[in-house]
Structure 1
Amino acid sequence: MTVTPAMEVAMTVLDPLLADVQKPTAQARGLPNAHYTDPAKFIEERDALFGAGWAGLAVAADVPEIGDAVPINFLDIPLLLIRGRDSQVRVFQNICRHRGMILVDAPRKIEGAIRCPYHSWCYSTQGQLVATPHVGGPGFNSHKDVDRSTLGLIEVRSHVWRDVVWINLSGDAPAFEEAMSGVIARWAEFEQPLYHGGADSRFTLTVNGNWKLAIENYCESYHLPWVHPGLNSYSRLEDHYNIEIDGLTSGQGTLVYRQLTDEAGTTFADFKNLDSKWDAGAEYLSIYPNVLLGVHRDHAFAIILRPNGPNQTEEFVHLYYATPETSDTLRQKNSEQWKMVFEEDIFVVEGMQRGRRAPGFDGGRFSPAMDGPTHCFHKWAASRLALHRAQA
């Protein structure tokens, strides 16, 4: 997002601290403590940072078969992820249009229609209202003033890319391909089929910290020598580089990715026709606001962050491969390795969260050489918040 002069004025007038975030990296401060601890700020960010653009909800692999439905509480909004009879993945508000009752309370397969447990109004897996029992009185299943064609489930605008189900809650963001053009172009070589590794290639981590801290930590490689000594033993700090894309995405890359092997020296199959730079290269991007992606020559991953209020975050991790058939031993080893790396970050995120309770902390500072990707995220958040306040 480009910060216009009007937005800069709005930031200064409405919150001088947000203006400090926008300064050059060497002089900037980070977001104030309240943005990590205050429930009111969390609600504001729900609209300004999550609702206005494209956020990650889940992965399409969560609903692999026709009729699969998964209820998701996303920022206190009840949503339903479902694969319809036409095999398309959609997202609806998980409420009946009659009295707002929750429709699906646990993951299940919809064999016929989605039936409301309250008054049995029924919806197709594509969202149309198909039955309204006794709506016109006992034995009368229609009424002239109840137009079923206007009372389908409320659909949330969505798009699937790299198996992530992205949603736009406001409904008015630019088209996904336009909004994400920079990162799509950067990883164009990886526009290939992705195959989820299955049950042993997904895991969930619960972190007692604000979701933004998980993004900030993932953005940079600065912490590798101290937090990930095993990884740093071969993928050293000096082997990494910073990435910033359009002010909307940031992260890091490595020049020394090392493929996993089993006892026989077997590796995962590579993605096809990749440039030679990927022989030993890999990249890790934070797609604002809440998706973390990684690509390698032979596998990829996606992490969806779902905040549970300002103080807790769930991280849903999914691993993908270039072919549907992979070695069980290698796949499990890969999952265990990544889980160990991501678990090593938990104490850092939780420690920073506790640190945000210190009244003298003013948002912190950034290393001009090492923290550019993290500062990029802070600038994006401040810009979105300023625009949201200016439009209020």
Structure 2
Amino acid sequence: MPDDLSAVLRPIEAAQGLPNAHYTCEETHAAERDALLWGGWAGIGVGADVPEPGDAGPVDFLGLPLLMLRGRDGVLRVFRNTCRHRGMILVDAPRKVEGAIRCPYHSWCYAHDGRLVATPHVGGPGMNRAEGIVNDDLGLVEVASHIWRDVVFVDVSGTARPFEEVHAELLSRWADVEAPLHHGGEGSRFTLEVACNWKLAVENFCESYHLPWVHPGLNSYSRLEDHYNIEAAGFSGQGSTLYRQIRGANGETFPDFPDWPESWQEGAEYIAVYPNVLMGAQRDHAFAIVLEPTGLATTREHIHLYYATPETDAGLRAKNTAQWREVFEEDVFVVEGMQRGRVGPGFDGGRFSPAMDGPTHRFHQWVATRLGR
């Protein structure tokens, strides 16, 4: 991995982007996993993945087995998906856990809050207790978690400052548009498999420079000149001063979120919450994208759409999902093309437009700073 990233930290007028190794080198990918994704708050899923008490959702977080579990008390917790006996995976597919979480290997059982509640035959046949096996000391390992706008963020390291402190500026920025979010259901979620390093998906999402050429349909009513850059600590992105609501055949629209501020009536913002969560906020719906790095040059994008009320017109929801799918699919050739372009020693990381690339430059600087380079 390149030790010197000083060129990335320069002012944007003279800065270079991250070198090729950050997209093509397995060693660098591992270092970024440790520092960027396991070293602080990162997204692993959404609350809608486990909506009801007893719902369990296993997550492979860059090889680390985690388990999202909504307990009988309604609280969503995240645990290491590993039995404390011999390290067996506890839940290997999404399912409802009616009773205890039972290890399929030796049947050790855990309550929904992680407590170890049963160790059958641990002391020999018919002996369910054994010297040295203290149940209170062998509960599931809980991972620090925080839910914001339904996205489940975790701090695997256990050393990050509280989410509210790390993202205080972002929470303040969007405080006026906070409202209960209702997932649109199965038709309001979809997944894209993309052949690129996960960072390229972040970089592309947070800037509007590419709109006229990559999204000509979107640019026809939400033009490049209607957008502005957002640059801050821990997030960056773009905003629009001209948001146009989607309409049905008879002109119907989704209901607005309650108490939506006047200043946002015609506006919308689209931000990348570092490292791997992308969000959009508009008057009548919102979305969250959790980027799952599945390899050095492969990423799975989990897209979820949310509304102001639990019941909205199914046809309009389907139209909205189709529209966003089209927009996000238009980006695929770009991020995959950049990934292919990074192969080979000749590219120095590129340069930035001082006027248009500020959000991407800010993300690169965050990466370089977190890597201590």
Is 2:244 the counterpart of 1:258?
Answer: yes
Residue equivalent to 1:100: 87
Partner residue of 2:263? Answer: 277
Identify the range of structure 1 (287-296 vs 277-286) with the bigger mean alpha-carbon deviation: 277-286
CA distance in 1, matches of 2:75, 2:177: 22
What CA distance in whole angstroms lies between the structure 2 residues aligned with 1:54 and 1:99? Answer: 28
What per-residue deviation string (whole Å, max 9, x for no partner) do you get for residues 148-182 of structure 1?
10100111100111000000010111111111111
Alpha-carbon shift at residue 358 of structure 1 (Å) = 2.6
| Aligned residue in 2 for 1:229 | 216
SS at match of 1:48: helix
What's the CA shift for 1:302? 0.2
1:366 and 2:366 equivalent?
A: no
Shift of 1:241: 0.2
CA distance in 1: counterparts of 2:335 and 2:341, whole angstroms: 10
1:317 is aligned, of 303, 308, 320, to 303
- The corresponding residue for 2:33 is 46
Aligned partner of 2:3 among 8, 15, 22: 15
* 1:217 corresponds to: 204
* Of 133, 136, 139, the match for 1:146: 133
Letter in 2 for 1:325: E
TM-score, structure 1 length as denominator? Answer: 0.94
Pick aligned residue for 1:70 from 46, 49, 57: 57
Among residues 254, 267, 281, which one is paired with 1:268 in the alignment? Answer: 254
Q: Percent identity?
A: 64
2:315 aligned with 1:329: yes
1:340-373 deviation per Cα after TM superposition (whole angstroms, max 9, x unaligned): 0000000000000000103100111100010000
Measured in 2, the distance between the counterparts of 1:236 and 1:160 equals: 33
Match of 1:5 in 2: none
* Structure 1 residue 120 corresponds to structure 2 residue 111: no
Shift of 1:39: 1.3
Instruction: Give CA deviations for 1:26-75 in whole Å, capped at 9, x if unaligned.
Output: 11111111111111111111111112221001000000111000111011
Whole-angstrom CA distance in 2 between matches of 1:52 and 1:98? 27
Which amino acid counterpart does residue 352 of structure 2 have in structure 1? F
The one-letter code of the counterpart of 1:138 is P
> Residue deviations 1:161-210, cap 9 Å, x none?
10000000101111111111111111111221100000100000000000
Secondary structure at the counterpart of residue 21 of structure 1:
coil
Q: State the Cα distance separating 1:227 from its structure 2 match.
A: 0.2
SS in 1 for 2:372: helix
C-alpha root-mean-square deviation of aligned residues, in Å?
Answer: 1.1
Aligned to 1:341: 327
Q: 1:202 aligned to 2:189?
A: yes
The separation in 2 between residues aligned to 1:330 and 1:286, in whole angstroms, is 26
Query: Are 1:134 and 2:106 counterparts?
Result: no
Query: Contact 2:177–2:261 at 8 Å: present in 1 too?
Result: no
- Separation (CA, whole Å) in 2 of partners of 1:245 and 1:23: 16
What letter is aligned with 1:269?
P
- The aligned length equals 373
Structure 1 position 61 matched with structure 2 position 61: no
Shift of 1:137: 0.8
Question: Does the 8 Å contact 2:90/2:103 carry over to 1?
Answer: yes
The one-letter amino acid paired with 2:194 is V
Cα drift, residue 245 of structure 1: 1.7
Distance 1:15 1:29 in 2: 15
Q: How does 1:74-93 map to 2 (within 5 A)?
A: 74-93=61-80
Q: Which residue of 1 aligns with 2:372?
A: 386
Greater helix fraction, Structure 1 or Structure 2: 1
2:222 and 2:178 map into 1 onto residues whose CA distance is 26
Question: 2:269, 2:282 within 8 Å by CA — same for their partners in 1?
Answer: yes
Residues in 2 aligned to 1:92 and 1:81: alpha-carbon distance in whole angstroms: 7
Separation (CA, whole Å) in 2 of partners of 1:62 and 1:41: 31
1:15 and 1:128 mapped to 2: Cα distance?
44
1:191 aligns with 2:196: no
Q: Cα distance, 1:277 vs. partner?
A: 2.2
1:240-278 deviation line (CA, Å, top 9, x unaligned): 0000122x1000001111001111111100012222221
Give the Cα–Cα distance (whole angstroms) in 2 for the partners of residues 295 and 191 of structure 1: 9
Q: Which amino acid aligns with 2:320?
A: N
Q: Which runs of 4+ in 1 moved over 6 A?
A: none
